[in-house]
Structure 1
Amino acid sequence: MSGAQVIVAYPRKEGATFDKDYYLSTHMPLAAKHWKKHGLKSYTVTELTGDGPYSYSVVLEFESPEGFPAAAADPNTKEVMDDVPKFSNEQPIIIHGPVIGRKDV
């Protein structure tokens, strides 16, 4: 099995803001621009429903487990992280790891 996933989740809190139009039209294309060279293959943005602890999430698919650490260390990632306050007043939770199983059903 190859590849890696990064999950970025934005907390659902009283007073939290999230501009989904900006996120989709500006922030995620900015991240893709800088991280494609590190193996970013795709991303999926989800508006989460219910009473869970998160309101929005994105799953980023990288070609290899080394991709996200390389992207995170890229000097251009500062521009991506500096963009967060333009669409949310919450800092996201980021988790990542290698894909160990995948099956289309």
Structure 2
Amino acid sequence: MPAALLVSYPATDGARFDRDYYIATHLPLVREKWGTHGLTDAIGMWPDDDAPAHVAVALLTFRDAGARDAALASAEAGAGAVFGDVANFTDIQPSAQLLTVA
């Protein structure tokens, strides 16, 4: 059964979020590093309203929970590359939730 990781960036007064960097650099990095661990899709989403609860949300889909968990645990792909890149586009502490896809 497919699994997902939902990553959200809560709206915070004065917070920095570089959408251009996120689209051009971070999402391709996620696809490159976690593609080898069963990532099947990675999409970024932006709120349409003027007072959003989150400035961005990412939905990362994996072939199954084992693949997702392996990606998160990978020293090279997880903390080393993907998580280490977050500071390059935001100072917001992201929130992550593990999901099962129906």
TM-score using structure 1 length:
0.88
Q: Which of 3-12 and 72-81 deviates more?
A: 72-81
Q: Does 1:14 align with 2:16?
A: no
4+ runs deviating over 3 angstroms: none
Deviations 1:26-53 (A, max 9, x none): 1111111111111100111111133342
Which residue identity lines up with residue 89 of structure 2 in the other structure?
Answer: F
Match of 2:75 in 1: 75
CA RMSD of superposed structures (Å): 1.1
- Equivalent pairs, count: 99
Q: Does 1:89 align with 2:91?
A: yes
Distance in 2 of aligned mates of 1:57 and 1:73: 21
Gaps of 5+ in 2: none
Identity across matched positions, percent: 31
Gaps of 5+ in 1: none
